[in-house]
């Protein structure tokens, strides 16, 4: 395999650095690419480039329909390169290539198209007569770009989660500096190349691969960055919030989750078993919105678990580059050890290991970072595996004696990103959904994020929303302009009496 060599993208230039990251396939540990390692000085340089590009007005003053055309062209080009980029994503983070094509890259294309559409339809300006003032006046409400934005994204869906920030930021006329995770900068750097080819002006998009506490922290605390959008763990999210407080930055946070998945007693168990596996095991369970706590009605519990295990046996584990693969490796040796540690804790705390629990057997799995799909039954919601985000392929099955109890268990978590309900009585499932504290609830499905609808968390799963018709609100400042048309300031009850008081009749 040819080892690719990448630079950073700053101010429209490809910038090298003395130090480089090695990007290795999590499936084979083979070297895939080396990437320039950005430091604090590169973050500063990228922020300065983004600030200059905002100040020169080339992008901000481009009419929204023309911005939309550029973003649309980028989305088209991304779509043309979908297969190649899906392979690159499989190489950098181990996602099965079939899933990477449909979800990671496919959704990136679709979601960028949505934001191009938003640039066309968003109400950047409203005007109208002013009510409740004593003189003839008119008002304008403008939504202006905030200026330099920054995005910090994790490794699990590196391009897609970057698109949720780059899309609305650029549609609204901002400039942006993006820091990918150090494991997965490749698809984003290819995206920058595409954006450059499609005519995005220099400095509008900058990509600085680097370490979180160095480049990420600089972006979160720099006074010239007006808005920061972060996706990652709740622990780092809290840090970002503290750093952003230093200069009162606008902030969106998409953080961790511990998604409850309620199986009602009237659920179609075949559909539910498959949906549950999809909900928990997609991307080897490395998704913030995964349904990791399966709360099953007592009446169907045993039958459901039997079906779940039967279907788990059919999952094809192996080479992420093979389109027949369902399930690949986890991201790193540390992640593998962390997940195996959680599996030990589940056993130590008295849960029953019903399936998996280790590294798959065979020579194929001697290199790379593998963990079997794992199912625990007899889980109580106070066990560590039910409380902490494992971020790996571990399902915790919890038995519930009533729907009310299932809802109580579902909400008994510090998180609130996603939840799900499975049942054939749709009204009843909807009544349950109404009582769940989560930003997204899927009924009889999972993982269906939709660019036209908001995504984000209740409680410690985040702050603000990405996607949806209001996504650009998070990337604009609202300005009210009052225009008096009367020339009669004296008619104000609280006007200064600068000369002769008006005569009363």
Q: In what order do the strands lie in the sheet with 205-207?
A: 13-15, 8-10, 205-207, 175-179, 148-152, 227-231, 250-254, 462-463
3-state secondary structure of 421: strand
Q: Which residues of 412-449 are buried (b: 16+ CB within 10 A; e: fewer)?
A: ebebbbbbbbbbeeeeebeebbebbbbbbbbebebbeb
Q: Give the separation between CA 170 and CA 192, rounded to whole angstroms.
A: 13
Closest approach, Cβ 206 to ligand NAD, in A, equals: 15
Contact between 462 and ligand NAD by CB under 6 A: the answer reads: yes
Contact between 156 and ligand NAD by CB under 6 A: the answer reads: yes
Residue 14 contacts residue 205 (beta carbons within 8 Å): no
In the bound state with ligand NAD, the residue whose beta carbon lies nearer, of 118 and 231, is 231
In the bound state with ligand NAD, the residue whose beta carbon lies nearer, of 256 and 357, is 256
Residue among 182, 190, 288, 437 flagged as catalytic? 288
Q: What is the dihedral of CA 422, 423, 427, 430, to 10 degrees?
A: -10
Closest approach, Cβ 290 to ligand NAD, in A, equals: 8
Binding mask 385-424 for ligand NAD (x = CB under 6 A): ----x-x-------------------------x-------
Contact between 53 and ligand NAD by CB under 6 A: the answer reads: no
Q: Give the separation between CA 67 and CA 50, rounded to whole angstroms.
A: 17
Closest approach, Cβ 385 to ligand NAD, in A, equals: 15
One residue of 38, 72, 145, 212 binding ligand NAD per CB under 6 A: 212
One residue of 38, 101, 147, 154 binding ligand NAD per CB under 6 A: 154
Closest approach, Cβ 154 to ligand NAD, in A, equals: 3
Contact between 279 and ligand NAD by CB under 6 A: the answer reads: no
Closest approach, Cβ 305 to ligand NAD, in A, equals: 26
The crossing angle, in degrees rounded to 10, of helices 82-93 and 186-197 is 150
Which two structure tokens, joined as six digits, stand for 17?
Answer: 């650095």
Residue 41 is among the residues annotated as catalytic for this protein: no
Which residues pair with residue 355 across a beta bridge?
375
Render 228-268 in DSSP notation, one character per residue: EEEES-HHHHHHHHHHHHTTT-EEEEE----EEEEE-TT--
The crossing angle, in degrees rounded to 10, of helices 82-93 and 158-171 is 120
The crossing angle, in degrees rounded to 10, of helices 158-171 and 106-121 is 10
Q: Give the separation between CA 192 and CA 205, rounded to whole angstroms.
A: 7
Positions in 239-278 near ligand NAD (CB under 6 A)? 239-240, 254-257
Burial class (CB in 10 A: 0-12, 13-18, 19+), 364: middle
Closest approach, Cβ 421 to ligand NAD, in A, equals: 20
Contact between 181 and ligand NAD by CB under 6 A: the answer reads: yes
Contact between 161 and ligand NAD by CB under 6 A: the answer reads: yes
One residue of 145, 216, 346, 468 binding ligand NAD per CB under 6 A: 216
In this chain, which residue has its C-beta nearest to ligand NAD?
A: 212
What's the 3-state SS for 445-459?
CCCCCCCCCCECCCH
One residue of 94, 145, 185, 232 binding ligand NAD per CB under 6 A: 232
Closest approach, Cβ 214 to ligand NAD, in A, equals: 8
In the bound state with ligand NAD, the residue whose beta carbon lies nearer, of 68 and 417, is 417
Please identify, among the stretches 40-48, 108-116, 212-220, 277-285, the one whose residues bind ligand NAD according to the rule CB under 6 A: 212-220
One residue of 104, 118, 231, 312 binding ligand NAD per CB under 6 A: 231
Residue among 92, 182, 254, 466 flagged as catalytic? 254
Contact between 474 and ligand NAD by CB under 6 A: the answer reads: no
Residue 149 is among the residues annotated as catalytic for this protein: no
Closest approach, Cβ 344 to ligand NAD, in A, equals: 20
Binding residues for ligand NAD, total number by CB under 6 A:
30
Residue 378 contacts residue 353 (beta carbons within 8 Å): no
Which sign does the torsion angle of CA 181, 182, 186, 191 carry? positive
Residues near ligand NAD (CB under 6 A)? 152-156, 161, 179, 181-182, 212-213, 216-217, 220, 231-233, 236, 239-240, 254-257, 288, 389, 391, 417, 457, 462
Residues tagged active-site: 254, 288
């Amino acid at each position: 395999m040819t080892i690719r060599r990448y630079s950073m993208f700053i101010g429209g230039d490809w910038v090298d650095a003395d130090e480089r990251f090695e990007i290795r396939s999590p499936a084979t540990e083979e070297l895939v690419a080396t990437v320039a390692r950005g430091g604090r000085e590169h973050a500063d340089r990228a922020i300065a480039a983004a600030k200059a590009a905002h100040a020169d007005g080339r992008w901000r003053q481009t009419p929204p329909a023309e911005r939309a055309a550029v973003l649309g062209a980028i989305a088209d080009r991304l779509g043309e390169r979908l297969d190649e980029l899906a392979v690159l994503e499989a190489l950098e983070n181990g996602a099965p290539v079939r899933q990477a094509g449909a979800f990671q890259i496919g959704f990136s294309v679709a979601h960028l198209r949505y934001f191009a559409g938003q640039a066309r339809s968003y109400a950047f300006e409203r005007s109208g007569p002013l009510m409740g003032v004593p003189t003839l006046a008119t008002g304008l409400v403008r939504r202006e770009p905030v200026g330099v934005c920054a995005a910090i994204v994790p490794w699990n869906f590196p391009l897609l989660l970057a698109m949720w920030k780059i899309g609305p930021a650029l549609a609204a006329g901002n400039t942006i500096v993006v820091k990918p995770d150090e494991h997965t900068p490749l698809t984003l750097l290819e995206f920058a190349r595409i954006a450059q080819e499609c005519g995005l002006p220099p400095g509008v998009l900058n990509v600085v691969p680097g370490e979180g506490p160095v480049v990420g922290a600089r972006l979160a605390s720099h006074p010239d960055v007006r808005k920061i959008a972060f996706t990652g763990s709740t622990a780092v999210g809290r840090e970002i919030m503290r750093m952003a407080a230093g200069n009162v930055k606008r902030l969106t946070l998409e953080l961790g989750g511990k998604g409850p998945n309620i199986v009602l007693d009237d659920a179609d168990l075949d559909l539910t078993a498959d949906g549950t596996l999809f909900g928990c095991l997609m991307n080897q369970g490395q998704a913030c919105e995964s349904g990791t706590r399966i709360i099953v009605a007592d009446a169907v519990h045993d039958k459901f678990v039997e079906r779940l295990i039967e279907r788990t046996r059919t999952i094809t584990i192996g080479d992420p580059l093979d389109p027949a693969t369902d399930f690949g490796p986890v991201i790193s040796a540390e992640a593998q050890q962390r997940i195996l540690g959680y599996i030990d804790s589940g056993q130590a705390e008295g849960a029953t290991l019903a399936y998996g629990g280790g590294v798959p057997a065979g020579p194929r799995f001697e290199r790379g970072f593998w963990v079997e799909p794992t199912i625990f039954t007899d889980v109580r919601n106070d066990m560590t595996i039910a409380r902490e985000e494992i971020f790996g392929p571990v399902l915790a099955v919890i038995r519930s004696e009533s729907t009310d109890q299932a809802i109580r268990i579902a909400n008994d978590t510090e998180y609130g990103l996603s939840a799900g309900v499975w049942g054939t009585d749709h009204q009843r499932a909807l009544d349950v959904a109404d009582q769940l504290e989560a930003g997204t609830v899927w009924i009889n499905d999972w993982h269906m994020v939709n660019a036209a609808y908001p995504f984000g968390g209740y409680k410690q799963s985040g702050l603000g929303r990405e996607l949806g018709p209001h996504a650009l609100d998070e990337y604009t400042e609202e300005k009210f302009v009052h225009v008096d048309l009367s020339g009669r300031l004296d008619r104000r009850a609280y006007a200064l009496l600068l000369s002769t008081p008006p005569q009363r009749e």
